[in-house]
Amino acid sequence: MRSRVWGVAAAVVLGGLLMAGCGDGEQDTAGERAAGKAVSGGYPVSVTDCTGARTTFSAAPRRIVTSNASSLELLLRLGVGDKVIGTGFPPGKGTLPAALDAEARKVKVLSRSVVPKEKLLGSGADLYIDTFASMNMGGGTGDAPTAEEFKAAGIDHVYLKSTACAAQGKGPVTDLSGVEADIVSLGRVTGTGATARELVAGMRAKVDAVRKAVGGTAESERPTYFFFDYDAGTKQPTVVCNRQVAHAVITSAGARNVFADCDGDYKQVGWEDVIAKNPDWIQLGIRHRGGAAANEKAFDEAEQWLRSNPATKGLKAVEEGHFLRIGSEQTTIAGVENADTVVEIAKTLYPGKVG
């Protein structure tokens, strides 16, 4: 499976993805007013979609379907995995931490890719959490359900805006506030606001520590960085642009995304464009293969491709062996582990400064 949900190719097919406030730290004020009630399990609470349309919950959902592993993982971390009755794009074995992985294995897989329209509408769900923007679902599954069809099936439809609203973004996403807002929003909806805030506080502590350590480094002195999505294919690289979560991760770690001048979430470019950027560091982005040995084999393959390809072997990062072996999922998919990736990148780029 080659998907942007767990790899970049489907993002190109499925379209632009990104955020609540689209990376600029905006908050849903009405939702924030309701947040206090959600911490103690109080309702009603409201959330908005990419266009501002509001969905109000009078009680916590009991039967949830998730579009992919990103929203599924967040629900597991919030402690409401028992409410999830199905998912599309399930996480690969071993992708999630051990305890979460075991829980994820119990969730019914409705599709290995996008959940087909009829299966989703007939699932018995009362909530569908969508990581995709509203669009043709592709792959022979038919169009996405309309608002009227969701309503007729008794399904509320909400988005992970940090990935679903990129096309409507107002500018570069340079921090993880959008991801944090999604976590808080899901906490409000599921009545787990206190847990959501604990998760966000943990993320902020890690990222703030990195910023404190590298904050004195001038922008011009920060190393340039290229996310090489090996699983998206090597014939024509697909790069992360300035509205993708990975751009926020790279920026927060004190690096400069070499394709920061690309407005959007992803873009296919030519290798001549990468050569022109000549990055200081390259992240070997591969999807989790199910185990450490398989992952290392994939990282080895990605590195060897860069070293042997005539177009890339002369890049500064390749000649100096400046590679980071960090998985795609924790870099490009909204989640708690985005903060861990910030730390991991910063430790490599700023040895001795970041503990």
Q: Given 3-state DSSP classes, what are the helix, strand and coil percentages for the chain, each rounded to the nearest 5?
A: 45, 15, 45
Q: pLDDT tier at 156 (50, 70, 90 boundaries)?
A: very high
Distance of CA 256 to the CA centre of its chain: 19
Strands 238-240 and 256-257, bridge-based pairing: unpaired
pLDDT tens readout for residues 189-221: 999 999 999 999 999 999 999 999 999 999 999
| pLDDT score for 171 | 86
C-alpha–C-alpha distance, residues 18 and 26, integer Å? 13
Residues facing 48 on adjacent strands:
54
pLDDT tens readout for residues 166-178: 667 788 999 999 9
**Where is 84: in which H helix or E strand?**
strand 84-87
Angle at the Cα of 137 from the Cα atoms of 136 and 138, rounded to 5 degrees: 95
Indicate the range of 54-58, 286-290, 314-318, 348-352 predicted with least confidence.
286-290
With contact defined as beta carbons under 8 Å apart, do 161 and 181 qualify?
A: yes
Q: What is the DSSP string of 213-225?
A: HHTTS-GGGSPEE
* Matching fold, domains 9-202 and 217-349: yes
C-alpha–C-alpha distance, residues 180 and 309, integer Å? 39
Q: What is the DSSP string of 184-244?
A: HHHHHHHT-HHHHHHHHHHHHHHHHHHHHHHTTS-GGGSPEEEEEEGGG-SSS-EEE-TTS
Task: Give the pair of three-digit tokens for residue 26.
Answer: 């905006």
217-349 fold = Rossmann fold (3.40.50)
The amino acid that residue 313 corresponds to is: K
**Helices and strands of the chain, counted as H and E runs:** 15, 12
Task: Give the pair of three-digit tokens for residue 210.
Answer: 């990195």
Mean pLDDT (whole number) for 73-100: 92
Closest CA to 129 of 97, 84, 99, 173: 84
Say what percent of the chain tops pLDDT 70.
Answer: 85
C-alpha–C-alpha distance, residues 338 and 245, integer Å? 8
Residue 132 pLDDT > 60: yes
The amino acid that residue 116 corresponds to is: P
C-alpha–C-alpha distance, residues 102 and 219, integer Å? 42
Mean pLDDT (whole number) for 133-145: 53
Residues facing 224 on adjacent strands:
256
Task: Give the pair of three-digit tokens for residue 237.
Answer: 């690289």
| pLDDT score for 51 | 81
CA dihedral 15, 156, 72, 100 (to 10 degrees): 170
Q: How many residues does the chain have?
A: 355
What residue segments make up the domains of the chain, in order of their start? 9-202, 217-349
With contact defined as beta carbons under 8 Å apart, do 342 and 207 qualify?
A: yes
Task: Give the pair of three-digit tokens for residue 138.
Answer: 């592709």
Closest CA to 163 of 35, 44, 11, 290: 11
227: Cβ–Cβ under 8 A, 6 or more apart, which residues?
239, 240, 246, 250, 257, 283, 285, 331, 332
Residue 136 pLDDT > 50: no
Closest CA to 138 of 163, 114, 155, 109: 114
Residues facing 166 on adjacent strands:
none
Residue 292 pLDDT > 60: yes
| pLDDT score for 82 | 97
pLDDT tens readout for residues 3-33: 333 333 333 333 333 333 333 333 444 444 4
Mean pLDDT (whole number) for 290-316: 95
Residue 264 pLDDT > 50: yes
CATH class of this structure's domain 9-202: alpha beta
In the sheet with 256-257, reading across from the earlier edge strand, the strands are 256-257, 224-229, 281-285, 323-324
| pLDDT score for 24 | 37
82 DSSP 8-state letter: G
179: alpha, beta or left? (left if phi > 0; alpha if psi -120 to 50): alpha
Task: Give the pair of three-digit tokens for residue 338.
Answer: 């985005």
Say what percent of the chain tops pLDDT 90.
Answer: 71
